[in-house]
Amino acid sequence: MAISGIINTNTSALSTLDALNGTQGSLNTYLQQLSTGKSINGPADNPAGYAIAQRFQTQINGLNQAVSNGNQGVSLVQTATGAIQNQTSLLQQIRTTAVQAANASNTTSDRQALQGVVSQLLAQVQTIATQTQFNGQNLLDGTFAGAAFQVGANSNQIINVAVGDTKTNAMGNYATTVTSQANGAYSSTSGAFIDGGYAAGGAFTLSSGAASGAGGAGNFATNSLGISGSVGNASVSVSSPSESAYSLAQSVNAVSAQTGVNAQAYTSAAFQVTATGSVSFSLGNGSSGSVSNAVNISATITSGAGGQLDLSSLVTAINNQAAITGVSASTQTVNGTQELVVTQSQGRNIVMEAGTGTATSGMSTGSTAKLQAVSNATGSAVGVGGVFSSGSGGLVIQGAVQFQSASSYAIGNASGIGFSSQAASLVSGAGGSAVASINVTTAAGAQQAIGIVDQAINYLNQQNGSLGAIQNRIQASVSNDQTTATNLQSAQSVVQDANIAQATSQLTKYQILQQAGISTLAQENSLQQSYLKLLP
């Protein structure tokens, strides 16, 4: 290039200066990358990359908070499950006490003392239900329902949580309502269903049986019972009017996995003895047309002390054959009158007819004593063949089916076995089926308490099982959030983070170019000054 000899405008210096400015811009870029570790420090660096990196950051921030949310949710669930475990432990103690109170060795004062223990334990169960909190929120009183844990970075990525009501008036055995229809199994005219069917002499229905071999009798209506429980629906059949409560309970239990409803059976009838003298009859199971385990019972009823009849001979005769018949006998005094109580604890039918091998009904010919079935709920005699004597018909005594569930259910066509067809309910107060109503001051109350506590424990187990599953879901979600956040950070790094080795190499390059540019600029300026030597 020819020397221009121009002083006013140093074109070469200006070009060098432009190059030096570019070098300085690149040098600043790599200095910033090395100081921040990011290749994209603003939208100008890479507009598309900057937008992508920000979207990644949004998801990462949301996932990190979701992890924190999930961990708090796990803590809340653990608080609830721990409290429920304590309630379960208390209910186990109550059940043990109820089993103790049910024993005949206890006196009235013993059971009252045991009720005092039960009352204190129930109070603590209630206290736990009303006072268990997490961050000021009650967990076990039924108000923590419809809650949702936000376990994802985006809207509606939630896990729904509901903790059931564990107060003492909200747990127990849902009970069916007894109907008073004339053809019902526990109607006021043919039987009794006292204290939920747990009372001695209070779980039966009577029908007048025909002579042996002449066909059966009973009160059940042959139909199909529809059971709608918390798990699902199923149906069981009543095969004959004389079907036993035991058989019905077995049928209900066979489908309990489909319905969440199970059952137990109990047969116990009370009789007042209205005359002294001899008694002789056949005692067995089944129906009057098909008697099994039949034995002959013979005894003499005499006058006892205090104006009461002496029933010991009859009680002994029945109990001596209990290993064969499964029927036991005892006495109880109600309103000053001694009663005979016959019980088949499994709920099988009790058949009382003339002696085995005879063709007559009622007691055998020559028996002079009379038995009158009574309902202790009303203190009145039971009709529809409730008298058993040598001049009466034989008796088929059917038991009570006691449905049990920790949740509400409905029994369709239940009027045929003595219940209304409405949904079962949880009743508090005296004679109720809620935990709050437990009363072990009587043997019947203690027996009922066992069933109530069993269902309450089942309910708490269901709650803890559900909460345990929710805790596992939350923990799995937290683990997934952490994994996703890690992968997103890796993807964000690819887009946004600087390659330090490359940036260092580029920085060195531009530092050298800067030094070269500055040196060149100095030379260009020196050339302009050399023109001054031409001045004279």
Report the distance separating Cα 432 and Cα 455, nearest Å: 14
Q: What is the pLDDT, as a whole number, of residue 379?
A: 66
Nearest to 339 by CA among 253, 295, 274, 423: 274
With contact defined as beta carbons under 8 Å apart, do 455 and 404 qualify?
yes
| Helix locations, 223-321, DSSP H | 245-254, 256-259, 312-320
Q: What is the pLDDT, as a whole number, of residue 383?
A: 72
With contact defined as beta carbons under 8 Å apart, do 381 and 290 qualify?
no
87 vs 334, higher pLDDT:
87
Above 50 in pLDDT, residue 181?
A: no
User: Between 47-101 and 108-131, two packed helices, what is the crossing angle to 10 degrees?
Assistant: 170
Q: What is the pLDDT, as a whole number, of residue 290?
A: 83
With contact defined as beta carbons under 8 Å apart, do 344 and 267 qualify?
yes
Nearest to 33 by CA among 353, 504, 445, 379: 504
Nearest to 40 by CA among 510, 498, 505, 509: 498
Counted residue by residue, the chain has a size of: 536
Collapsing DSSP states into helix, strand and coil, what is residue 360? coil
Above 70 in pLDDT, residue 215?
A: no
Q: What is the pLDDT, as a whole number, of residue 236?
A: 93
Above 50 in pLDDT, residue 405?
A: yes
* Three-state SS annotation for 129-192: HHHCEECCEECCCCCCCCEEEECCCCCCCEEEECCCCCCCCCCECCECCECCCCCCCCCCCCEE
Report the distance separating Cα 7 and Cα 457, nearest Å: 104
Structure tokens at 521: 């600029």
Q: What is the pLDDT, as a whole number, of residue 96?
A: 97
In this prediction, residue 183 has a pLDDT band, given cuts at 50, 70 and 90, of very low
Residue with tokens 């005359």: 275
Q: What is the pLDDT, as a whole number, of residue 187?
A: 66
With contact defined as beta carbons under 8 Å apart, do 488 and 59 qualify?
yes
Above 80 in pLDDT, residue 135?
A: yes
Q: What is the pLDDT, as a whole number, of residue 211?
A: 44
DSSP string, 45-58: T-HHHHHHHHHHHH
Mean pLDDT value across residues 378-392 = 77
Q: What is the pLDDT, as a whole number, of residue 59?
A: 92
Dihedral sign from CA coordinates of 475, 478, 484, 487? negative
DSSP structural state of residue 38: B
Which class for 349: exposed (0-12), middle (13-18), buried (19 or more C-beta within 10 A)?
buried
DSSP string, 387-440: EESTTS-EEEEE-EEEEE-SS--EEETGGGGTB-SSBPB---STT-SBGGG---
pLDDT per position as a tens digit, 299-353:
998 887 777 888 999 999 999 999 999 999 999 988 888 899 999 999 999 999 8
Above 60 in pLDDT, residue 223?
A: yes
Measured CA to CA in angstroms, residue 519 lies from 13, 172, 276, 531 at distances of 11, 95, 139, 19
CB-CB neighbours of 424 under 10 Å: 24
Report the distance separating Cα 357 and Cα 355, nearest Å: 6
pLDDT per position as a tens digit, 243-301:
999 999 999 999 999 999 999 999 999 999 888 888 899 999 988 778 899 999 999 98
Lowest-pLDDT choice from 164-168, 385-389, 478-482? 385-389
Mean pLDDT value across residues 224-242 = 90
pLDDT per position as a tens digit, 101-114:
999 999 999 999 99
Above 50 in pLDDT, residue 394?
A: yes
DSSP structural state of residue 365: T
In this prediction, residue 37 has a pLDDT band, given cuts at 50, 70 and 90, of low
In this prediction, residue 3 has a pLDDT band, given cuts at 50, 70 and 90, of low
195 vs 93, higher pLDDT:
93
How high does pLDDT run on average in the chain?
85
Q: What is the pLDDT, as a whole number, of residue 39?
A: 67
Nearest to 327 by CA among 276, 271, 253: 271
Above 90 in pLDDT, residue 24?
A: no
Report the distance separating Cα 432 and Cα 458, nearest Å: 18
Structure tokens at 196: 């939920």
Half-sphere CA count of 327, side-chain side, radius 13 A: 33
Report the distance separating Cα 141 and Cα 90, nearest Å: 17
Above 60 in pLDDT, residue 184?
A: no
Q: What is the pLDDT, as a whole number, of residue 359?
A: 46
For the chain, the distance separating the N- and C-terminal CA atoms, rounded to the nearest angstrom, is 26
With contact defined as beta carbons under 8 Å apart, do 91 and 459 qualify?
no
Mean pLDDT value across residues 369-374 = 88
Report the distance separating Cα 27 and Cα 504, nearest Å: 10
Contacts of 387 (CB under 8 A, 6+ apart): 370, 371, 372, 373
Above 90 in pLDDT, residue 71?
A: yes
